[in-house]
Structure 1
Amino acid sequence: MKQQPFEVFRNKNIHSVILNRNVVYDLVLPKSMDKNLLYPTIYMNDGQDFDQLEALKTIQNHYTKGGQAFIFVGIHTNERRLSEYGTSFQSDYKNRGNKATDYMNFIVSELQPLIRKETSSSFLAIDNTFFGFSLGGLSAMDIAWENPHLFSKIGVFSGSFWWRDKGYEEGYSDDLDRIMHKKIRNSKYKTGLKFWLECGTADETADRNNNGIIDSIEDTLDIITELKTIGYQATDIKYVEIEGGEHNFNTWKNVFPEFLEWVFSTK
């Protein structure tokens, strides 16, 4: 029986001083990792859903096709998900995401340094990717956006770009109150960032402005508009719309191989 070209380490722990809790993560390393090489590294929010994503199957297929060796880090969340995921420096109108800044600081000040210390993870931004699903996708994009010196590639599956600082009954406006859109609009172009954004046409049924486009798709397309407005080109952004795609791992696991291929074909 042929030996797998990677090793899987489940339920590793790091004690986070910043979050004041232990954080569980899964690690997939190249077999016989060469300490003289630096490997691309992919970080995943909601790492507890690693198996639902069928990540090992996709990783195995990547290697079978002769793909580049890499390190995979699946960061588990817990009951604090609605506090720790979100946008840094700005919680939503219900104060969700109020620990998102702490979570970002945990990633960049505690977890990533540990991964670099214990493995041959590359320290170059161009070799580091962060991705997630739904609210975890918003979190991944926000963290990479705030730290382009650490991450260059961003993957968002069915992202929660509706994240807003004002409720509908409080006079909400698409133009003024979606937090990630506003953050991009008020920023300058950040060199090197690449974006992979996925939506399914059956992600949801909500259509707050009754224009015939579901909110998840419209919010994502508006993110793309904001990115282009500050200088990103079409070549920097990959938008994938899945006909009949839903807001679940049945859809996401099927498109994950395409995302992984994009990671290694994008410079």
Structure 2
Amino acid sequence: MMHKMCALAMALLVLIGCSDANKDSSRASTASSNVSVLPFEFMLDGLDRQRTIRLYLPPDYANSTQSYPVLYMHDGQNVFDDATSYAGEWGVDESLNQLAANSSLRLIVVAIDNGGDYRMKEMSPWENKRFGEAQGQQYMDFIVDVVKPYIDNNYRTEADVKHTAIMGSSMGGLISHYAIHAYPHVFSKAGIFSPSYWYSTQVFDYSKLHKADLKAKLYVMYGDKEGDGMIADTDRMQRQLTVQGHPQANMLFKRVVGAEHNEKLWRSEFTEAIQWLFAD
């Protein structure tokens, strides 16, 4: 019962957040100068929807000939800019600019805006009786077949699987988990933050039938105040992946003490996660 109550609470928070995230805001933009919004929206085939794409380029991009790894992120409204976010931004641009100044790690980040009222459906490949049909496969095919080719053709990317990652939180964590299992030829790294495994138990069955590549790196993180259901589901997934033989060196499950289901947690853990994922 507690599991269901926690899941419902998180779902309501997500629904409120995604519906407000697309509204105009009077707050000042906090996006760095090396963040831009692509000049046109992309069409999601089969769903008759358009989507805004936000782009972060490394600080030295214009003055170099280097090609860069790419990180694809969900809920683009919350990634770079407080003005477009619902409950605060991740600050990915500031974090990566700091890493670029202090280390050799430089990435391109492609942030796909969420679909507002369609967010829950788009971020699960499995149907949910409460929230409706599954559209996660169409959403991921959109990223793989439309967005990624455009980025690779128009920017200096390291387009191979070794240098391509995906990351998201909550429902974005669920679809990132799906992506690393369903598209092993595209993604080799996944940041799975506070994953909504509660949305469908099929995630466990799918992960058994469609195992991630053994070289794939999975960074799974959650707060210990996100509810008993989050802890139980994530522990279950860790045990399952271990039994399935995914190398311990290639998966990291982290429980953050005192942390709740919010952008504050995801922002605070981003730098550590990205350094671990791209350590090789």
Q: Which TM-score band (shorter chain)?
A: 0.7 to 0.9
1:24 Cα deviation (Å)? 0.6
After TM superposition, the structure 1 = structure 2 runs for residues 122-133 of structure 1, keeping only pairs within 5 Å, are 122-133=158-169
1:163 Cα deviation (Å)? 2.0
For the 8 Å contact 1:82–1:97, the answer to whether it is kept is: no
After TM superposition, the structure 1 = structure 2 runs for residues 108-187 of structure 1, keeping only pairs within 5 Å, are 108-164=144-200, 178-187=201-210
After TM superposition, the structure 1 = structure 2 runs for residues 21-170 of structure 1, keeping only pairs within 5 Å, are 21-30=49-58, 31-33=60-62, 37-50=66-79, 51=81, 52-79=89-116, 80-87=118-125, 90-94=126-130, 96=132, 98-164=134-200
Report the aligned-residue RMSD: 2.0
Cα separation, 2, equivalents of 1:202 and 1:225: 21
1:225 Cα deviation (Å)? 1.6
- Tell me the amino acid that sits aligned with residue 9 of structure 1: S
Cα separation, 2, equivalents of 1:224 and 1:181: 11
- Please list the CA deviations of residues 49-88 of structure 1 after superposition, one character each: whole Å capped at 9, or x if unmatched: 013111122112111212322101111012210121112x
Identical residues among aligned pairs (%): 24
Unaligned runs of 5+ in 2: 1-31, 82-88
Cα separation, 2, equivalents of 1:94 and 1:198: 26
For the 8 Å contact 1:27–1:72, the answer to whether it is kept is: yes
Matching of residue 201 in structure 1 with residue 207 in structure 2: no
For the 8 Å contact 2:181–2:211, the answer to whether it is kept is: no
Cα separation, 1, equivalents of 2:179 and 2:169: 14
Cα separation, 1, equivalents of 2:189 and 2:234: 17
- Aligned residue for 2:10? none
Cα separation, 2, equivalents of 1:34 and 1:191: 37
Matching of residue 255 in structure 1 with residue 269 in structure 2: yes
For the 8 Å contact 1:44–1:75, the answer to whether it is kept is: yes
For the 8 Å contact 2:120–2:131, the answer to whether it is kept is: no
Cα separation, 2, equivalents of 1:122 and 1:34: 17
For the 8 Å contact 2:169–2:194, the answer to whether it is kept is: yes
Over 3 Å counting, the alpha-carbon distance change for 1:181 and 1:24 in structure 2 is: same
1:20 Cα deviation (Å)? 2.0
* TM-score when normalising by structure 2: 0.79
Which one has the bigger helix percentage?
A: 2
For the 8 Å contact 1:189–1:231, the answer to whether it is kept is: no
* TM-score when normalising by structure 1: 0.83
- Aligned residue-pair number: 238
Over 3 Å counting, the alpha-carbon distance change for 1:191 and 1:234 in structure 2 is: closer
